[in-house]
Amino acid sequence: MQAKNEVIDISIPLSSKTVVYPGDPKVKVEVFKEWSETTSKLSEIAMGTHSGTHIDSPSHCLKDGKRIEDLPLDVFVGPARVLDFSMLEEKITKEDLINKNVKSGERILAKTRNSKEGFVTWRDNFAYLDGEAADYLAEVGIKLFGIDTWSVKQKGSKDNRAHTSLLSKDIPILETINLAEVKEGEYFLVCAPLKISGVEGAPTRALLIKF
């Protein structure tokens, strides 16, 4: 009998307790109608477009960049490689990526110490992608970059290349993924963003499938 494929949910839960980037709208989940009031229950959700596990499109940082609806769906569905950088204290550098032999057309998901430290408490000192490393990924021509943190760039840094170098090449960024239980290796990724018109980012239910 053929072994069943393993499906790994790398999304973080969305609720009123979800930690968001400082200054972003908080997630609100409330009951709109109760069973006692109608024949069915209905909830109301309010949140920012970058809450929880989400996709950054080019228009997030580039005035004339593509919006979520402009990005081809096949970017978000296909083979991906998880790279383990959890031993790094501060950031992912160009040299770290060279050592992992990143290639053109790959979907790259970066596992850092952030996954182990979790997503229930905000931390200013989360691990991030260095600007020069982002330049390198854009030059190589990867298809998508994901990372297990609220933002791909260092908090408070004026160097925005972690965003702009990738997004200027129409390389979407998948942020706030939980890779704590995921080993380095090859997977099949599904992370299509919600089809919301006119926005620069959108939540996604990100899944890895191990064959």
pLDDT tens-digit map of 136-190: 999 999 999 999 999 999 999 999 999 999 999 999 999 999 999 999 999 999 9
Domain boundaries, the chain: 6-11+49-210
Distances (CA, A) of 162 to 71, 109, 124: 19, 14, 17
CB within 8 Å of 101: residues ≥ 6 apart: none
Write out the DSSP string of 63-108.
TTPPPGGGS-GGGGEEEEEEEE-TT-SSEE-HHHHHHTT--TT-EE
* Structure confidence by residue, pLDDT tens digits, 85-109: 999 999 999 999 999 999 999 999 9
Q: Quick check: 37 pLDDT over 80?
A: no
Residue with the larger pLDDT of the pair 1 and 55: 55
Catalytic residue among 50, 54, 60, 163: 60
- Nearest-5° Cα angle at 173, 170 to 176: 170
Give, as one character, the DSSP assignment of residue 58. G
Q: What is the pLDDT of residue 4?
A: 75
Phi, psi at 5, each rounded to 5°: -65, 140
Q: Tell me the pLDDT tens digit for each residue of 50-86.
A: 999 999 999 999 999 999 999 999 999 999 999 999 9
Indicate whether 3 pLDDT > 70: no
In sequence order, which residues have a C-beta less than 8 Å from that of residue 196 and are 6 or more positions away?
49, 68, 69, 202
Q: Is it the case that residue 1 has pLDDT exceeding 60? A: no
Residue 163 annotated as catalytic:
no
Give the pLDDT score at 2. Answer: 55
Instruction: Give pLDDT, residue 36.
Output: 79
Fold of the domain built from segment(s) 6-11+49-210: Glucose Oxidase; domain 1 (3.50.30)
Taking the whole predicted model, whether its pTM rises above 0.75 is answered as yes
